[in-house]
Every structure is written in structure tokens, then in C-alpha cells.
């Protein structure tokens, strides 16, 4: 999908990204995967972005964070990946802007009667 912009404010709509955490063992990966369905866990300890890219596969890395402690050195502990095509929304940057857009549309003469079937059913219009 081409970069979408909010139909209300014109702001670029955010990419739909995934946070990938690097863990030490398969057991830790399985435990963390059970806790969070919003992030992914991969076994590995990459030191460079290129090493991290090999571990995450096809998804492209859009940002990374190094742990930077004495124990772990400069290893990367998480990356943010993007599939190269998904955005948070097709039309709006937030739910509030979708609502404001709907109000603006319904307040126009041309679209004042615009409604979904459920509305037409209960109002008989
Ligand atoms: Zn907006």
C-alpha cells in the first residue's frame, strides 16, 4: 500500500510495526510468547543491525535499540520491524479524527442522509 494520509488532518498515517525482542533461550522465547501477543521473541544476541536483520528474516528493521549494560555489552535487545506495506489505518491517523470526519460529512447537505443499514432499519428510512 502507498503511504496513506489522514483524510481529516493530512498527517502521514503510521506504519504498522512489530517489536521483536531477542532472548537467550528457546524456553525464554516460549514463556515470553505466551505473555505477549503484541510482540515477537527471537532467540539470538545480535551485535549489529545486519546480524539482527538475519535473525528477523523478511521483515525490514526500521529501528533498533542496544541494551548497553556492562554485562550484555552493546548487543541489540530489540528491533522494530515493518512488513513494507502495512499501515495502522487506511484513512485516519486516530479514531477521533475518523469521528470528526464523519460529523463534518453528515453536516453537509449532500451527505446529511448518509447512514448504515442498521440505522435505516430502526428509523424506517
Ligand atoms: Zn488525523
Q: What residues does the ion ligand 1 have nearby, CB within 5 Å? A: 6, 8-9, 11, 93, 97
| CA of residue 41 to ligand 1 center, whole Å | 32
Question: Average pLDDT, stretch 6-13?
Answer: 98
pLDDT by residue (tens digit) across 77-95?
899 999 999 999 999 999 9
pLDDT by residue (tens digit) across 19-69?
999 999 999 999 998 988 788 999 999 988 899 999 999 889 988 887 655
| CA of residue 1 to ligand 1 center, whole Å | 18
On whether the CB atoms of residues 61 and 76 are closer than 8 A, the answer is no
| CA of residue 92 to ligand 1 center, whole Å | 5
The Cα 43–Cα 40 span in angstroms is 10
Q: Cα dihedral angle (76, 48, 50, 4), rounded to 10 degrees?
A: 50
| CA of residue 38 to ligand 1 center, whole Å | 24
99's enclosing H/E stretch is helix 95-106
| CA of residue 90 to ligand 1 center, whole Å | 12
Angle at 37 between CA 41 and CA 16, to 5 degrees: 90
Amino acid at each position: 500500500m502507498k503511504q496513506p494520509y489522514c483524510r481529516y488532518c493530512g498527517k502521514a498515517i503510521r506504519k504498522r510495526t512489530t517489536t521483536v525482542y531477542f532472548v537467550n533461550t528457546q524456553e525464554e522465547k516460549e514463556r515470553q510468547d505466551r505473555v505477549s501477543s503484541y510482540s515477537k521473541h527471537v532467540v539470538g544476541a545480535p551485535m549489529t543491525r545486519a546480524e539482527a536483520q538475519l535473525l528477523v528474516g523478511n521483515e525490514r528493521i526500521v529501528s533498533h535499540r542496544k541494551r548497553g549494560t556492562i554485562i550484555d555489552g552493546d548487543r541489540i535487545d530489540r528491533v522494530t520491524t515493518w512488513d513494507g506495506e502495512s499501515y495502522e489505518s487506511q484513512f485516519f491517523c486516530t479514531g477521533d479524527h475518523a469521528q470528526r470526519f464523519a460529523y463534518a460529512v453528515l453536516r453537509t447537505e449532500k451527505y446529511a442522509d448518509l447512514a448504515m443499514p442498521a440505522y435505516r432499519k430502526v428509523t424506517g428510512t
